Amino acid sequence: MDDLERFGKDPLGDGDMLLPIFDKGCEGKMLSVDEVLFLLNGYELKIRKQSEMCVLEIFADASCNHQQGFGAWAIVSNKFHRTGIVEADNIGYVELYAVYEALLEARKYCGDVVIYTDSQYVYSNVNWKAKEYESLGWKSKGWRKRIPNKRLLQKIAPLLKPNIRVEKINRKNNRCADKLARKTMRENDMDDGGVV
C-alpha cells in the first residue's frame, strides 16, 4: 500500500490517523496527527520570529513655538521620513499630530508597526484615553468639562489597529525625529526657543 492509499486511514483503529510527510529526511515516513500539529506549531513559531524582524518602527516627535502659534512635526523610519507644520498653541497637539501622521503611514504597511513617542501625554491618550472617550460617546467623565484635542483624538481612534502599537521611549532615543522637527521649525523661519 503506498502513501496516497494510507493517507487519512486509521490502520490501527485507535483514532490516530496517519499522515504522510514529504520533507527532507522524512520521505515516506508516516506521522500521527499530533506529530504533524507539533511540527506545524514549530513552523508557526519560526514564522512568528521572522515576522518580528519585519516590524516597521516609526519615531514621532514635535517642536512648538507658543508665541507664534505653530509647531513642526516629524516622523522618521528606515523606509521614509516626513515633516510638516501645523497650527497649534500647545506642544501636546503637535505631538499628537505627529503620531496621527505616523498612523496614516502605518496603514500603508501590512505588517506590524511600532510608533515610538517620547511624550507621556501622547502615549496615554492614544493607548487608553482615546478608547475610553470613544466608549463614552466622546464626552468626558468627572470634573473635566471638555476633552483636550478632541477632534484630533477622534481622527486617531479609527486608525488604531491590532498590528499597530504606540510605545513610549526615552527622549534621548528619539533624537532623530526631534532634530528633524527642530530643523523644520528653523527652515520655516520659526524660532524654536519656545519649545517644551
pTM across the whole model:
0.68
What is the tens place of the pLDDT at every residue in 27-73? 445 555 555 555 555 544 444 444 455 788 999 999 988 777 889 99
Q: Which three cell numbers stand for residue 92?
A: 501636546
What is the tens place of the pLDDT at every residue in 68-92? 788 999 999 988 889 999 998 889 9
Q: What percent of the chain has pLDDT over 70?
A: 67
Q: If you search the block for the grid coordinates 487608553, which residue do you land on?
A: 128
> Cα separation of 190 and 146, whole Å?
30
Q: What is the pLDDT of residue 35?
A: 57
> Cα separation of 24 and 44, whole Å?
18
Name which residue leads in pLDDT, 117 or 6.
117
Instruction: Name the 3-class secondary structure at 84.
Output: strand
Q: Which three cell numbers stand for residue 20?
A: 504522510
Listed in order, the ranges of the chain carrying CATH 3.30.420.10 are 56-194
What is the tens place of the pLDDT at every residue in 7-32? 444 444 545 444 444 444 444 455 55
DSSP string, 25-44: T-TTEEEEHHHHHHHHHHHH
Fold assignment, 56-194:
Nucleotidyltransferase; domain 5 (3.30.420)
| Residue of 81, 169, 79 whose CA lies nearest to 122 | 169
